[in-house]
């Protein structure tokens, strides 16, 4: 199987580069994919994994009765990444999830070494990992509160603020559209649908009404512009109000005439939510 995968790689036009890059990717994921340290020290997971493997090899040579179990682990651990080379693409992060528990079981078994000094070394190592993780998580939470929650366009609080602004308006009968560089626009569309289920107002998603709101996601330097409304919605007038939020979202309110409502719009802008 491995030979077949190698031949298949060599048959590609960029084989010399791509196959080596896949090997480099497997080595990278093998040392960084097991999240001993998710937060805190830069490359902490890689350093910790290397130390863990060195401790494992040391224990195997020091205590012959441990060789079978630890050798069995190393065989399957390294073999897992070697066999993944049959896939011609990079190994995604979540592909390591199935072996997390296996790794942590073997890691914690090091506390059972006969030598008190070696057990002490392991417990110190283990304590450093736990403390570093807790400190890193605390710093990360504080950072998210300042830089993400209510500020990032991916923050639910930020999205909720946008949708609440629409649904707490004095309008009781309106339509709305959601515009995003990503045509799926899952985040704002789900947020609008959620707000709609908690409202007693009559709302028409992706339908033109005399009062129509357009919820616009941040552009983030993409090639898409507000010409989208003219081209896809056939809305050429100016909004009566425009509200901009810290997250980068914008709400525009339009008062449409019967003629503007009658102009057909591109129904492809609403692909539905069936993909999620």
The whole-number pLDDT of residue 123 equals: 94
Whole-angstrom Cα distance, residue 72 to residue 10? 31
Global pTM value = 0.63
Whole-angstrom Cα distance, residue 54 to residue 239? 65
Below-70 pLDDT ranges, the chain = 1-17, 182-185, 220-226, 229, 271-276
The whole-number pLDDT of residue 221 equals: 58
Angle at 11 between CA 10 and CA 15, to 5 degrees: 45
The helix (H) or strand (E) run that includes residue 258 is helix 258-262
The token pair at 156 is 């639910």
The whole-number pLDDT of residue 119 equals: 92
Residues in Cβ contact with 154 at an 8 Å cutoff, skipping those fewer than 6 apart: 148, 187
The whole-number pLDDT of residue 68 equals: 93
The whole-number pLDDT of residue 223 equals: 55
Q: Is 34 left (phi over 0), alpha (psi -120 to 50) or beta?
A: beta
Q: Tokens 């552009």 sit at which residue?
A: 219
Handedness of CA 58, 60, 63, 69 (dihedral sign): positive
Whole-angstrom Cα distance, residue 63 to residue 60? 5
Contact (Cβ atoms closer than 8 angstroms) between residue 247 and residue 255? no
| Interval 208-262: pLDDT, tens | 999 999 998 887 655 556 677 677 788 888 899 999 999 889 999 999 999 989 9
Residues in Cβ contact with 246 at an 8 Å cutoff, skipping those fewer than 6 apart: 150, 151, 158
The whole-number pLDDT of residue 16 equals: 43
Contact (Cβ atoms closer than 8 angstroms) between residue 84 and residue 90? no
Q: In this structure, what are the phi and psi dihedrals at residue 48, rounded to the nearest 5 degrees?
A: -65, -40
The whole-number pLDDT of residue 226 equals: 63
């Amino acid at each position: 199987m491995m030979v077949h995968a190698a031949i298949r790689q060599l048959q590609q036009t960029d084989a010399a580069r791509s196959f080596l890059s896949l090997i480099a990717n497997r080595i990278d994921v093998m040392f960084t994919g097991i999240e001993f340290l998710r937060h805190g020290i830069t490359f902490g997971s890689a350093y910790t994994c290397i130390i863990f493997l060195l401790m494992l090899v040391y224990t195997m040579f020091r205590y012959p009765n441990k060789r079978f179990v630890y050798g069995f682990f190393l065989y399957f651990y390294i073999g897992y990444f070697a066999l993944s080379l049959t896939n011609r693409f990079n190994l995604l992060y979540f592909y390591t999830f199935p072996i997390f528990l296996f790794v942590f079981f073997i890691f914690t078994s090091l506390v059972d070494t006969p030598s008190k000094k070696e057990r002490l070394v392991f417990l110190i190592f283990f304590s450093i990992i736990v403390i570093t993780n807790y400190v890193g998580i605390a710093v990360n939470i504080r950072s998210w509160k300042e830089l993400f929650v209510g500020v990032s366009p991916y923050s639910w609080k930020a999205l909720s603020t946008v949708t609440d602004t629409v649904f707490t308006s004095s309008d009781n009968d309106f339509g709305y559209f959601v515009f995003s560089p990503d045509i799926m626009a899952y985040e704002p569309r789900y947020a609008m649908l959620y707000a709609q289920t908690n409202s007693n107002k009559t709302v028409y998603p992706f339908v033109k009404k005399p009062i129509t709101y357009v919820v616009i996601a941040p552009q983030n330097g993409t090639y898409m512009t507000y010409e989208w409304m003219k081209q896809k919605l056939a809305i050429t007038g100016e909004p009566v109000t425009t509200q901009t939020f810290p997250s980068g979202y914008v709400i525009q309110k339009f008062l449409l005439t019967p003629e503007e409502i009658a102009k057909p719009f591109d129904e492809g802008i609403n692909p539905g939510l069936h993909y999620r």
